[in-house]
Amino acid sequence: MEFRQLECFIAVAEELHFGRAAERLCMTQPPLSRQIQLLEQDLGVTLFERNSRQVLLSAAGRHFLRDARHLLEYSARAAATARRTSGGEAGHITLGFTAVAAYRLMPSMIMRARKLLAGVEIQLRETVSTDLERLLLAREVDAILARSIPHQTGIEARLIEREPLVLALPAHSSLCEHATVPLRLLQGQPFVLYSPREGKYFYDRIVGAFGLADVQPDYVQRAGQTHTLLALVRAGLGVGIVPDSARELRFEGVEFRPIGQRDLYADMYLAWHTHHDNPALDAFLQRVAVEGGASDHGLPPRPALG
């Protein structure tokens, strides 16, 4: 049984006239009749009841018409899906990310992907930065959103976002009087710092900035996650420095102020394997992972490492 035979059968079944069906298919009547005969032989049933005046579907033909239509529709969908998958318009991507990326960046990328690549399914994997690198190197995810990226041969990365670090402080703090807070005003201030293990990226940047400014806060507590740090700030334990996207957590009783220090920011990279065989990932990189990315900041993407 061939798809061309199904097309011939459906045309005759809908027209109930061999001449009109042949015209519809842009062929002559004898080849059309031959295709119907071959189909009936293959199936071992009579599909049409014919006489000199009319053509009618047999009981077997009526039931077969429904299935024949489904077969052609399914084959058309399968062909279209194959073409869309080859071009990256359909398929599957697994994206790893940290909790901080979920505050603002990751949801906006997913919504953009739904608009531009509606046929691509994106599975999300949330974990800590150290595990993200392991998942990417083991090819358990297609790409990761991370502050730092593994320096391994064959890993490529693109700077997606550069966001400022801001001061988080209790609403009753006297520092709230300032529209912008210079780092020098944090000298001796009770300060909640990121953990050097779980929050290593932010720990290094913040401690480094204090060192360059010759400022020594009073480190009263350390936290591994941004939401924990903000909870300690809200309790009045001290002030802290967090990425600007932490505003999205909307902690009541916590105020945010810009910091009067240049080049105090946090980068977010998208990293993936240079050599992969996933067209959906290529489409994601070309059409989705550019919003809010390097091109908007005038920052070049990092070249592949091999």
Mean pLDDT of the chain: 88
**177 exposed, middle or buried (CB, 10 Å; 0-12, 13-18, 19+)?**
exposed
Q: What per-residue confidence (pLDDT) applies to 300?
A: 40
**Confidence at residue 178, expressed as pLDDT on a 0 to 100 scale:** 96
Residue 183: closest CA among 198, 166, 197? 166
Q: Say if 3-86 and 164-265 have the same CATH topology.
A: no
* pLDDT mean over 285-293: 72
Question: Rounded to an integer, what distance in angstroms lies between the CA atom of residue 289 and that of residue 291?
Answer: 6
**Is residue 53 over pLDDT 60?**
yes
Rounded to two decimals, the pTM is: 0.65
- Tens-digit pLDDT profile for residues 98-138: 888 999 999 999 999 999 988 888 999 998 877 888 899 99
Topology of domain 90-161+266-297 in CATH is: D-Maltodextrin-Binding Protein; domain 2 (3.40.190)
The count of residues in the chain is: 306
In the chain, the largest separation of any two C-alpha atoms, in whole Å, equals: 104
Confidence band, pLDDT 50/70/90 cuts, at residue 295: very low
Domain 164-265, what fold? D-Maltodextrin-Binding Protein; domain 2 (3.40.190)
Q: pLDDT per residue over 201-242, tens digit each? A: 999 999 999 999 999 999 999 999 999 999 999 999 999 999
What kind of fold does domain 3-86 have according to CATH?
Arc Repressor Mutant, subunit A (1.10.10)
Q: Where are the domains of the chain?
A: 3-86, 90-161+266-297, 164-265
277 touches 139 (CB < 8 A): no
Tens digits of per-residue pLDDT, 163-191?
999 999 999 999 999 999 999 999 999 99
Please tell me the predicted confidence (pLDDT) of residue 301.
43
- Contacts for 225 with CB less than 8 Å, ≥ 6 apart: 99, 198, 199
